[in-house]
């Protein structure tokens, strides 16, 4: 384990400066309102939270699910002093939108000069070359510019793939959905395989000592949804062995988000 | 009727901008017309152009145009070529006036507010005459295609029932066959390759719905995954399925469409492209020197299922050639040049002006965050050349649910979601809705009020707009968005957007 050391909040920028300290490598687990940060006329918003006087941003995997005003946010992760996120100290981990409404979570922070200087959420504009191309031939503006494809995940027989979920959600992210696609393809292309699906529900120990436990049917919902997707993608119904694990592992306050998961393995017949 | 090159122009003998286009452009079931390569139909903004990429069609005995149901209707009754293969409220009113309400269009089953009302009275058809709305009767609780009951996550209670149909002892929620009556606009049956293509380049969404990462539906006949862009609630994802269902529910057929009829209908629907072809103020819309995305030919030749929210494609391609009109030194731009410049500015507002998109159920909560900040084009209207939301997903913009939209003419339901249901993300578990939308298909609380975005072509020909006919004009549509999302469009920006949409 890396040594823990106090660091100043990432921001030392004018009005955003926060004097409280965050501790590098510290595990955090708390529930609070997210704040939407406007980042300028030509860019998207980002989200931050303020906890114990420190502004944090949570780095999330692609398509995991961004914070939402109108709902509290469960933040679980490790403080990272090597980068900033949304003008705050970065937390590596997960953030989960709590399902029930919390109308008090409604703040949109305006884009100040300090935030604009961070150049957050900017999307690439048209290049001079593209502009010249369209000027010369306007029909080229309808030649399709596709986004770079997400990498295709590599899956293998006998290897366990793990999909993690936000709190009380059964929605897999786009990259995890691609994992399901590849697992189904692997099962279809290998005669006599079985697909083991082990679905869990989780619990989280918050910094204030409270324990948040997912609803009782969460493991079943996740497992049945994944099994249904695999069958819909062509896996034989009889090849799927679904195990629903309703027992909740005791949370520790460190990486408890990993308790909300499903484990999948395609195995060849013996 | 005028002949322009190989393009027939209907009803143009007294064309004006007043809304009086002379002779009737109505196509009655069984009437003979020939659809060759192209037809044009005048409207208040110019002319809609319809092109046919298939063989010439004689409508006399074609199943799309023949009165094959018991009520005298054909598919064409509610999908009129002059109205961009939809039906405008203006056309419905004209038809009432021409026939004294006797046209099959006003069939009791869905062309009236409720079949139990006195059918000879205009008031009994008020929703069709004022908003172009047809009654859509859905089973309650929801049922799957095989007739099995879908487990519902919410209860429905009728709060107000101005049409009388939801409390009607024969047709309502407490009838022997409990039914919910909602009222919706017919969608254009044209440009179908864009509705039916799975999205490209946004893997894994050629298999998964964006919202909750469940799988897309499959074509029951081929077993292949299909798009859900066809209908507002996605309940029937194929042309054959939709045609078969419409035969029973709208045409009151007593038997299934035959295989040959289904093949002819589908072939016709796949061959037809519509868009505004001529603007009274901008002139000819297609061809060299004009924006490459205008006119139905662009749709015929364009790539379906592609994401256009990038700075090159800009969804409908470039309009820059109209932005700064060239004129002789010191000369004032002509009205035509000024209008074209306005259209080009509107295209820029559509693509560039960002605003906070907030509290849109089944949308902000599908991973994007609440709020997120996008423009019309980079948010919900991103499919190249048609402007639907490409990655398939439903959303509650606020058109069906309180508090964003309140209608006195539509039924109002109180939906109370079960305690163990995932609540609607921004309205919770008690929702007042004029149309539960997608939730009448899935039974899910979180889907209440959600619907699928529509294509944006042929708009000048088919007011009113939105699924419930909320906006009578493009101005009202822009004003709705401005209010809903607190965008702050200037009057000039609004007019530019209107002009832009009028040439699509």
**Do residue A205 and residue A255 come from a single domain?**
yes
Could you tell me if A156 lies within 8 Å of chain B, comparing CB atoms? no
Choose the mutation target among B151, B200, B213 for the interface with A, i.e. most A CBs under 10 Å: B213
Helix (H, G, I), strand (E, B) or coil at B257: coil
The verdict on A41 touching B (C-beta cutoff 8 Å) is yes
Residue A11 within a domain: yes
The last residue of a domain, from among A59, A88, A118: A118
Q: Which residues neighbour B334 within 8 Å (Cβ) at sequence distance 6 or greater? A: B325, B327
Task: Tell whether A99 and A199 lie within a shared domain.
Answer: no
* pLDDT the model gives residue A25: 86
What residues contact A182, with CB distance under 8 A and at least 6 apart?
A152, A153, A154, A155
> Which residues share a beta bridge with A213?
A203
A184 and A107 belong to one structural domain = no
CA distance B317 to B314: 5
The three-class DSSP label of residue B135 is strand
Q: Is B218 exposed, middle or buried (0-12, 13-18, 19+ CB in 10 A)?
A: middle
| pLDDT reported for residue B189 | 98
Contact: B373, A38; criterion CB under 8 Å = yes
Q: What is the mean pLDDT of each run of 10 residues along chain B (504 residues)?
A: 51 43 82 97 98 97 95 98 98 97 98 98 98 98 93 98 98 97 98 96 91 92 94 95 96 96 98 98 96 98 95 97 82 94 98 96 92 92 95 87 95 97 96 98 96 96 98 98 97 98 98
Q: Which of the residues B197, B204, B217, B351 would you substitute to probe the A interface, choosing the one with the greatest number of A C-beta atoms within 10 Å? A: B204
- The C-alpha of B377 sits at a distance from chain A's nearest C-alpha, in angstroms, of 13
- For every residue of A9-64, DSSP letters joined together read -S--SGGG----EEEET-EEEEEE--EEE---TTB--EEEEEETTEEEEEE--TTS
CA B204 and chain centroid, separation: 26
Residue contact B313–A142, C-beta within 8 A: yes
Q: What is the pTM of this model?
A: 0.94
Spell out the residues 6+ positions from residue B250 whose beta carbon is closer than 8 angstroms to its own.
B69, B73, B78, B109, B110, B134
Rounded to a whole number of angstroms, the distance from the CA of B354 to the nearest CA of chain A is 7
Nearest to A142 among B367, B384, B426 (CB): B384
- Whether the CB of A150 is below 8 Å from some CB of chain B: the reply is yes
CB of A68 less than 8 A from some CB of B: yes
How far apart (Å, rounded) are the C-alpha atoms in residues A85 and A79? 11
Predicted confidence (pLDDT) per residue in A25-67, tens digit? 899 999 999 999 999 988 899 999 999 999 999 899 999 999 9
Would you say residue A140 lies in a domain?
Answer: no
| Nearest-5° Cα angle at B439, A36 to A199 | 70
Q: Are residues A43 and A112 in the same domain?
A: yes
A132 interface with B at CB cutoff 8 Å:
no
Greatest pairwise CA separation for chain A in angstroms: 65
Assess if residue A107 is contained within a domain.
yes
B438 exposure class (CB count in 10 Å sphere: 0-12, 13-18, 19+): buried
Same domain, A94 and A173: no
Q: How do A54-59 and A88-97 pair as beta strands?
A: parallel
Q: What is the CA radius of gyration of chain A?
A: 22
φ, ψ dihedrals at A21, nearest 5°: -115, 145
**Which of B207, B313, B368 minimises the CB distance to A66?**
B368
Residues A103, A9, single domain; the answer is yes
Check CB contact under 8 Å for A174 and B204.
Answer: yes
Asked if A69 lies within 8 A of B218 by C-beta distance, the reply is no
Q: What are phi and psi of A216, to 5 degrees?
A: -65, -30
All residues of chain A having their beta carbon less than 8 Å from the beta carbon of residue B321 are 138
Between A and B, how many CB-CB pairs are < 8 A? 143
Kindly indicate the confidence band of residue A1, based on its pLDDT and cuts at 50, 70 and 90. very low
Q: Chain A: nearest CA to B369, how far in angstroms?
A: 4
Mean pLDDT score, A191-218: 97
Q: Is B214–A225 a contact, with Cβ atoms under 8 angstroms apart?
A: yes
Residues in contact with B326: Cβ distance below 8 Å, sequence separation at least 6, in sequence order: none
pLDDT at B108: 98
In a shared domain, residues A91 and A25 = yes
- Count of domains for chain A: 2
Same domain, A103 and A180: no
Q: What angle, rounded to 10 degrees, do the helices at B491-502 and B474-484 form?
A: 130
How close B157 comes to chain A (CA, Å)?
23
Last residue of a domain, one of A65, A90, A118: A118
Q: What are phi and psi of B364, to 5 degrees?
A: -60, -30
Q: Looking at CA atoms only, how far is residue A23 from chain B in angstroms?
A: 28
**pLDDT category of residue A119 using cuts at 50, 70 and 90:** confident
pLDDT at B20: 54
pLDDT value, residue B9: 64
Tell whether A183 and A111 lie within a shared domain.
no
Domain boundary among A118, A140, A174: A118
Kindly tell me the burial class for residue A5, based on how many C-beta atoms sit within 10 Å of its own C-beta (0-12, 13-18, 19 or more): exposed
**A29 domain residue, yes or no:** yes
Under an 8 A CB cutoff, do A66 and B359 touch? Answer: no
Asked whether residue A90 is assigned to any structural domain, the reply reads: yes
* Cβ distance of B371 and A45 shorter than 8 Å: yes
Using 50, 70 and 90 to split pLDDT, how confident is the model at A109? very high
Q: Do residue A176 and residue A234 come from a single domain?
A: yes
- Three-class SS of residue A206? coil
Instruction: Tell me which chain B residue has its CA closest to the CA of residue A180.
Output: B204
Burial-class residue B338 by CB neighbours within 10 Å (0-12, 13-18, 19+).
middle
Q: How far apart, in Å, are the Cα atoms of A35 and each of A45, A117, B356, B470?
A: 10, 19, 14, 33
Cβ contact, residue pair A147, B307, below 8 Å? yes
Q: How far is B119 from chain A (nearest CA, A)?
A: 46
Chain B hits for A150, Cβ within 8 Å: 203
Provide the chain A residues 160-189 that lie in CB contact (below 8 A) with chain B.
170-174, 177-178, 181
For residue A247, the enclosing domain spans 160-267
Residue A144 pLDDT more than 60?
yes
Average per-residue pLDDT for chain A: 91
Test A66 with B425 for CB contact under 8 angstroms. no
The contacts of residue B230 (CB under 8 Å, 6+ apart) are B187, B195, B196, B236, B237, B238, B239, B242
Segment A95-100 mean pLDDT: 96
- What is residue A69's DSSP assignment? T
Q: Which of A45, A144, A178 sits opposite B303 (nearest CB)?
A: A144
Do B21 and B54 form a contact (C-beta atoms < 8 A)?
Answer: no
Does any domain span residue A82? yes
A78 and A173 housed in the same domain: no
Chain center to CA of B367: 26
Question: What pLDDT, on the 0 to 100 scale, is given for residue A41?
Answer: 86
Chain B residues close to A233, C-beta within 8 Å: 207, 215
The answer to whether the CB atoms of A43 and B365 lie below 8 A apart is: no
User: Are A111 and A164 in the same domain?
Assistant: no
Q: Is A75 inside any structural domain?
A: yes
Question: Do residues B474 and B498 lie in contact, with contact meaning Cβ atoms separated by under 8 Å?
Answer: yes
The partner residue sitting opposite B370, judged by closest CB among A44, A70, A181, is: A70
- What CATH number has the domain bearing residue A198? 3.30.1330.60
């Amino acid at each position: 384990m890396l040594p823990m050391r106090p660091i100043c909040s990432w921001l030392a920028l004018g009005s955003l400066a926060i004097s409280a300290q965050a501790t590098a490598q510290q595990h955090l687990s708390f529930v609070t309102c997210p704040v939407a940060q406007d980042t300028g006329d030509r860019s998207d918003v980002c989200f931050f939270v303020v906890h114990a006087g420190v502004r944090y941003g949570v780095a999330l995997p692609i398509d995991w699910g961004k914070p939402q005003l109108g709902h509290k946010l469960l933040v679980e992760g490790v403080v990272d002093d090597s980068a900033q996120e949304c003008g705050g100290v970065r937390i590596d981990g997960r953030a989960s939108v709590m399902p029930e409404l919390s109308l008090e979570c409604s703040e949109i922070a305006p884009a100040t000069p300090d935030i604009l200087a961070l150049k957050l959420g900017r999307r690439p504009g048209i290049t001079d070359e593209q502009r010249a191309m369209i000027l010369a031939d306007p029909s080229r503006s309808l030649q399709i510019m596709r986004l770079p494809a997400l990498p295709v995940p590599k899956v293998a027989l006998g290897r366990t793939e793990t999909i993690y979920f936000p709190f009380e959600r059964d929605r897999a992210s786009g990259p995890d959905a691609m994992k399901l696609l590849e697992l189904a393809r692997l099962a279809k292309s290998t005669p006599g395989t079985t697909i083991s699906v082990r679905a869990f529900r989780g619990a989280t120990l918050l910094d204030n000592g409270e324990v948040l436990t997912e609803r009782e049917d969460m493991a079943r919902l996740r497992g049945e949804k994944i099994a249904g997707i695999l069958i819909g993608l062509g896996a034989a119904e009889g090849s799927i062995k679904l195990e629903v694990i309703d027992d909740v592992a005791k949370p520790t306050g460190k990486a408890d988000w990993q308790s909300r998961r499903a484990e999948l393995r395609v195995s060849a017949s013996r | 009727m005028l002949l322009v090159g190989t393009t027939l122009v209907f009803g143009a003998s007294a064309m004006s901008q007043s809304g009086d286009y002379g002779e009737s452009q109505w196509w009655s079931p069984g009437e003979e017309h020939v659809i060759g390569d192209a037809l044009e139909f005048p409207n208040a903004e110019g002319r809609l152009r319809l092109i046919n990429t298939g063989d010439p069609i004689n409508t006399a005995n074609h199943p799309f145009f023949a009165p094959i149901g018991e009520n005298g209707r054909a598919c064409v009754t509610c999908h009129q070529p002059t109205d961009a293969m939809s039906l405008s409220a203006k056309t419905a009113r004209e038809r009432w006036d021409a026939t004294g309400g006797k046209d099959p269009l006003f069939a009791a089953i869905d062309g009236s507010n409720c079949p139990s009302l006195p059918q000879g009275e205009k008031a009994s058809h008020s929703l069709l005459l004022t908003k172009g709305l047809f009654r859509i009767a859905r089973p309650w609780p929801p049922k799957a295609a095989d007739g099995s009951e879908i487990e519902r996550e919410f209860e429905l209670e009728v709060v107000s029932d101005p049409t009388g149909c939801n409390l009607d002892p024969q047709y309502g929620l407490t009838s022997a066959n409990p039914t919910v009556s909602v009222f919706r606009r017919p969608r254009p049956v044209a440009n179908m390759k864009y509705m039916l293509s799975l999205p490209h380049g946004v893997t894994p969404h050629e298999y998964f719905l964006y919202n909750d990462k469940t799988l897309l539906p499959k074509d029951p006949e081929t077993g292949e995954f299909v798009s859900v862009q066809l209908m507002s609630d996605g309940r029937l994802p194929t042309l054959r399925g939709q045609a078969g269902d419409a035969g029973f529910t709208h045409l009151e057929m007593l038997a299934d469409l035959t295989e040959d009829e289904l093949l002819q209908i589908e072939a016709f629907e796949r061959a037809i492209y519509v868009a505004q072809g001529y603007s009274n103020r901008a002139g000819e819309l297609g061809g060299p020197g004009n924006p490459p995305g205008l006119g139905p030919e662009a749709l015929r030749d364009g790539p379906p299922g592609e994401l256009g929210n990038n700075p090159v494609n800009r969804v409908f391609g470039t309009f820059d050639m109209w932005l700064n009109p060239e004129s002789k030194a010191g000369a004032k731009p002509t009205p035509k040049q000024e209008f074209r410049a306005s259209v080009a500015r509107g295209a820029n507002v559509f693509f560039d002006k960002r605003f906070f998109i907030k509290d849109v159920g089944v949308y902000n909560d599908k991973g994007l965050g609440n709020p997120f900040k996008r423009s019309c084009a980079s948010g919900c209207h991103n499919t190249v050349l048609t402007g639907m939301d490409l990655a398939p997903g439903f959303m509650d913009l606020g058109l069906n649910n309180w508090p964003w939209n309140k209608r006195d003419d539509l039924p109002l339901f109180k939906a109370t979601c079960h305690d163990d249901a995932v609540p609607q993300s921004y309205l919770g578990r008690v929702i007042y809705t004029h149309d539960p939308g997608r939730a009448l298909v899935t039974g899910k609380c979180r889907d209440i009020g959600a619907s699928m975005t529509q294509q944006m072509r042929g708009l000048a020909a088919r007011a009113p707009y939105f699924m419930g006919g909320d906006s009578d004009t493009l101005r009202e549509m822009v004003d709705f968005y401005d209010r809903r999302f607190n965008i702050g469009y200037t009057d000039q920006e609004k007019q530019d957007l209107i002009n832009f949409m009028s040439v699509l």
